[in-house]
């Protein structure tokens, strides 16, 4: 690995996402006006019905910091780590470094975002270090639920920083690529100033299961059904897709991808060599139309109940080509992400109504996590022996438990730091201290563009409290009220004029306007503000509601 010559410069780490939620992962490491970014991911909202389906990290600080961004370095191909890259690259220009599989999924993301140019993508490989400004970065092989995942050992002027990425320690990985214990131990012996480690599964005792344990379960389930076999998983989970394909081939079934993203992932799997299957194992739906149900296995996107996904359309019996029938078997081979339970249960119920048998994690071991449990997290700490420790990737409860786990593993409590989005720390000569907070948060990604997070707040108000439009007509000559305010309600009370509350609210607003002594002019902003306050005050006092109020003032 290239040497870093300075030994006294300060290095600062700024957390911009991923340290109070599952998703939005984005971190900056800066030194002497230059920086590298680690990951740039999305997060799926638990309120998709309000149009808040996807969030991206708030990037204002990056735009205003005047830092030179030398690299965006990616740990793996999941959307919560790469999905916000198009939003980032519209604001800054920097090369993107990732392993072969990760960059294949990045290319897909930029094509789907209709980006006007493909960014500067640079392939990396485990144990092959590269330079990025004042930093030297070495990828280290880890096992996870998507292939080609890496941790990062970053040599900085203030010491070695290790970022774990998402990881588990899988003793029997599907692709034979093992977690690189040896390299972590070598770095630990050399001296690691700071370990940043994945906290997702810290609440789970013991060790996570091996991905290879899923294959016999899939085989038993597929063997027992004479109808169609469906399995839904994340489209980026190439190891899971590979195991379904291998089982299907053994049992004489052909695999049909359902959903655009799933079909594209299969294509990327062939392109990167992760799905090296015999010809004819995967077929198009047109070919499947001529085969018996017992000869078919479908892999579908939508395991989290996403509204427009293939699985949701199957459950609604609205898929244009495929229908679930009596005797079919559907496997949801993923964890139910918190917040998605209601949508997933709705899909499961509808599949049962169509006559299918539905299997998920609560019923059978059809999923193993890609994240390390407590014993694996402790093992990484023992391998690395860091001077300082920061838990990353998780909600606050995950971070707090990982903080305690690190102390129990021997890291001094004074050297463990519990951070949230917007927090930052600095390192100089191996000593870590807290520094100022920076702007961090989330923005709504709507229609491919990012917008104000207040948008979802407004939609939440509309769903809970409704809206009132207040129309006031005043005389341009005298400034007197000619008519109104007339109130029109949607989602609050009956809006056809028969509600006694509408009449009372109108009279009260008129009285308040007269008492306020404001100039009655259409261009007077205080007039509209008083209308909004008066309407909200009435409905808050009378009904306990605070509707969205839209004032309209006209002059005649």
250-278 average pLDDT score: 94
Structure tokens at 522: 């259409």
Q: How confident is the model at residue 2 (pLDDT cuts 50, 70, 90)?
A: very low
In whole angstroms, what is the distance from residue 382 CA to residue 411 CA? 9
Which CATH class for the 11-206+369-451 domain? Answer: alpha beta
- Please tell me the pTM assigned to this model: 0.82
Known catalytic residue at 398: no
- What is the residue extent of each domain of the chain? 11-206+369-451, 211-359, 466-555
Q: How far is CA 98 from CA 25, 44, 109, 185, 237, in A?
A: 15, 23, 14, 23, 17
CA 547 vs CA 299, 461, 487, 513: distances in Å = 44, 7, 12, 19
Residue 27: pLDDT band with limits 50, 70, 90 = very high
Distance CA 74, CA 301 (A): 24
Q: For the sheet containing 229-232, what is the strand order?
A: 254-258, 296-300, 229-232, 329-332, 357-359
Whether residue 253 is predicted with pLDDT greater than 80 in this model: the reply is: yes
pLDDT of residue 45 exceeding 70, the answer is: no
Smallest CA-to-CA distance from 259 within 297, 308, 215, 220 is with 308
Interval 305-330: pLDDT, tens = 888 899 999 999 999 899 999 999 99
Provide the CATH number for the domain formed by 211-359 in this structure. 3.40.50.10710
51 has pLDDT over 80: no
Question: What's 466-555's CATH class?
Answer: alpha beta
163 SS3 class: strand
Contact 196, 26 (CB under 8 A): no
As a whole-number percent, the residues of the chain with pLDDT over 90 amount to 67
What number is the average pLDDT over the span 193-221?
A: 97
**Which residues have a Cβ under 8 Å from the Cβ of 127 and sit 6 or more positions away?**
138, 139, 140, 141, 180, 183
Write down the catalytic residue from 39, 148, 198, 423: 198
Which run of H or E residues covers position 68? strand 68-73
For residues 186-210, average pLDDT: 97
pLDDT of 462 higher than 70: no
Bridge partners for 329 per DSSP: 229, 357
pLDDT at 410 over 70: yes
Cis peptide before 485 (omega within 30 of 0): yes
Per-residue 3-state assignment (H helix, E strand, C coil) for 427-496: EECCEEEEECCCCCCEEEEECCEEECCHHHHHHHHHHHHCEEEEEEEECCCCCCEEEEEEEEEECCCCCC
Q: Which of 456, 15, 395, 4 is nearest to 196 (CA)?
A: 15
Residue 106 scores a pLDDT above 90: yes
Work out the average pLDDT over 209-238: 95
pLDDT at 534: 87
Residue 466's closest CA among 420, 505, 510? 505
What SS3 class is residue 135? Answer: strand
The average pLDDT across 125-144 equals 98
Identified catalytic residue from 87, 371, 398, 402? 371
Give me the percent of the chain exceeding a pLDDT of 70: 92
The answer to whether the CB of 184 falls within 8 A of the CB of 211 is no
Whether 541 sits among the annotated catalytic residues: the reply is no
Per-residue pLDDT at 449:
46
As beta bridge partners, residue 34 has: 31, 68
Closest alpha carbon to 28 in 394, 439, 411: 439
Q: What pLDDT is stored for residue 300 in this prediction?
A: 96
Measured distance CA(441)–CA(43) in Å, rounded:
12
pLDDT digits (tens, 9 = 90+) for 141-166: 999 999 999 999 999 999 999 999 99
pLDDT at 456: 56
Q: Confirm if 431 and 18 have CB atoms less than 8 A apart.
A: no
């Amino acid at each position: 690995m290239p040497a870093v010559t300075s030994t006294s410069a300060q290095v600062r780490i700024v957390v911009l996402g991923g340290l109070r939620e599952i998703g939005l992962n984005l971190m900056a490491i800066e030194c002497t006006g230059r920086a590298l970014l680690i990951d740039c991911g999305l997060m799926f909202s638990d309120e998709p019905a309000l149009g808040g389906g996807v969030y991206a990290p708030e990037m204002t600080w990056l735009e205003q910091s005047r830092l030179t961004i030398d690299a965006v370095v990616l740990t793996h191909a999941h959307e919560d780590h790469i999905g916000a890259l198009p939003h980032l690259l519209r604001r800054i220009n920097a090369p993107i470094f990732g392993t072969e599989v990760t960059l294949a999924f990045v290319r897909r993301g930029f094509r789907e975002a209709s980006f006007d140019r493909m960014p500067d993508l640079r392939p990396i490989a485990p144990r092959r270090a590269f330079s990025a400004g004042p930093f030297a970065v070495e990828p280290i092989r880890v096992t996870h639920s998507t292939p080609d995942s890496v941790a990062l050992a970053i040599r900085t002027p203030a010491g070695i920083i290790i970022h774990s990425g998402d990881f588990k320690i899988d003793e029997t990985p599907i692709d034979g690529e093992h977690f690189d214990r040896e390299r972590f131990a070598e770095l630990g012996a050399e001296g690691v100033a700071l370990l940043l480690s994945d906290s997702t599964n810290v609440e789970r005792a013991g060790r996570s299961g091996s991905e290879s344990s899923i294959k016999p379960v899939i085989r038993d389930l597929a063997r027992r059904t004479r109808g169609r076999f469906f399995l839904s998983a994340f489209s980026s989970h190439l190891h899971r897709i590979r195991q379904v394909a291998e089982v299907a081939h053994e049992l004489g079934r052909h695999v049909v991808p359902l959903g655009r993203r799933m079909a594209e992932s299969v294509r990327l799997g062939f392109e990167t060599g992760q799905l090296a299957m015999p010809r004819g194992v995967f077929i198009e739906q047109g070919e499947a139309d001529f085969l018996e149900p017992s000869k078919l296995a479908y892999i579908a996107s939508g395991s989290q109940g996403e509204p427009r996904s293939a699985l949701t359309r199957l459950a609604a019996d609205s898929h244009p080509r495929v229908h679930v029938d009596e005797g079919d078997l559907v496997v949801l081979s993923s964890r139910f992400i918190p917040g998605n339970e209601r949508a997933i249960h709705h899909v499961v119920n509808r599949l049962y109504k169509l006559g299918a048998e539905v299997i998920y994690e609560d019923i059978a071991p059809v999923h193993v996590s890609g994240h390390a449990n407590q014993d694996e997290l402790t093992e990484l700490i023992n391998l690395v022996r860091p001077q300082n420790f920061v838990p990353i990737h998780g909600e606050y409860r995950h971070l707090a438990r990982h903080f305690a786990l690190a102390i129990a593993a021997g890291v001094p409590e004074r050297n463990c730091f519990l951070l949230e989005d917007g927090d930052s720390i600095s390192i100089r000569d191996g000593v870590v201290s807290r520094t100022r907070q920076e702007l961090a948060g989330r923005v709504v990604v709507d229609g491919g563009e990012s917008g104000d997070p207040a948008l979802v707040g407004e939609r939440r108000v509309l769903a809970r409290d409704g809206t009132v439009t207040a129309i006031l007509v005043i005389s341009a000559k005298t400034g007197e009220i000619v008519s109104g305010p007339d109130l029109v309600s949607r989602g609050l009370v009956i809006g056809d004029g028969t509600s006694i509350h509408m009449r009372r609210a109108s009279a009260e607003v008129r009285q308040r306007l007269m008492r306020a002594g404001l100039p009655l002019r259409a261009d007077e902003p205080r007039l509209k503000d008083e209308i909004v306050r008066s309407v909200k005050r009435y409905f808050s006092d009378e009904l306990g509601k605070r509707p969205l109020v839209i004032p309209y003032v006209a002059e005649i």
